[in-house]
Amino acid sequence: MTILFDLDGTLIDSTDAILQSFHNSYDVHKRVHPTDEQIKALIGYPLDVMYTNLGIEDEVVWDFVATYKEHYREISTKMTTLLPNALEAVELASTFARLGIVTTKTARYSKILMEYFDLMKHFEVLIGREDVENPKPHAEPILKALNLMKCSDKEQWIIGDTKLDLLSAQNANIKSVGVLCGYSNLEELSKYTPNIHNNSLDAVKFLHSIQS
């Protein structure tokens, strides 16, 4: 079995770091700030898409992204925590499956976070925003991860907390598990997968129970 994990809302909680980095960019560029709720509603999308949906013009959106990344790099490890049971989820999954990470976060900073939490050793690959042309919900991130892993397992799954993860799974023709510990809800996730669990550990236990 191969299991791919999303990061934000699935294994980690970096909400505070994300919000602070967004607000810092609006300070730097002297713009009216969006609300925290407006920002949180877009977590999971690439940064440029988030800024565009928050009203930032195309010609300056990458300036905002660059400002965000500069600030996020400085605070990410200090303001990010593992979600409850995430460590146990990864450790259990590593006993019966091959593991990878597929995220819309920058891979460079994501790897630093995973090393900080001493989890990167469990994952064969980490695909981030800069590794693909088309981020989730496109199939490309998942397919790239599976290709790099030279994956031939029939059972290929992704665990994620938003519809982007589940749609990406559909587009890549693999199976998915939605988790309720992140940025979506049961009603929304149920539209895209029949497999919904409270958190990543429950999701991994489910996959362990059905492995052939």
Q: Using 50, 70 and 90 to split pLDDT, how confident is the model at 212? A: low
Amino acid type, 116: Y
Over residues 131-175, the pLDDT tens digits come to 999 999 999 999 999 999 998 878 999 999 999 999 999 999 999
Per-residue confidence (pLDDT) for residue 62, from 0 to 100: 97
pTM across the whole model? 0.92
CATH number of 15-75: 1.10.150.240
CATH number (3.40.630.30, 3.30.70.141, 2.60.40.10, 3.40.50.1000) of 2-13+81-210 reads 3.40.50.1000
Amino acid, single-letter form, for residue 76: S
Query: What is the mean predicted confidence (pLDDT) over 185-208?
Result: 98
User: With 0-12 CB in 10 A as exposed, 13-18 as middle and 19+ as buried, what is 25?
Assistant: buried
Looking only at the bridges linking them, the beta strands covering 81-82 and 12-13 are antiparallel
Domain extents in the chain: 2-13+81-210, 15-75
User: Cα–Cα–Cα angle for 141, 73, 168, nearest 5°?
Assistant: 15
Residues 6+ apart with CB under 8 A from 144: 127, 131, 132
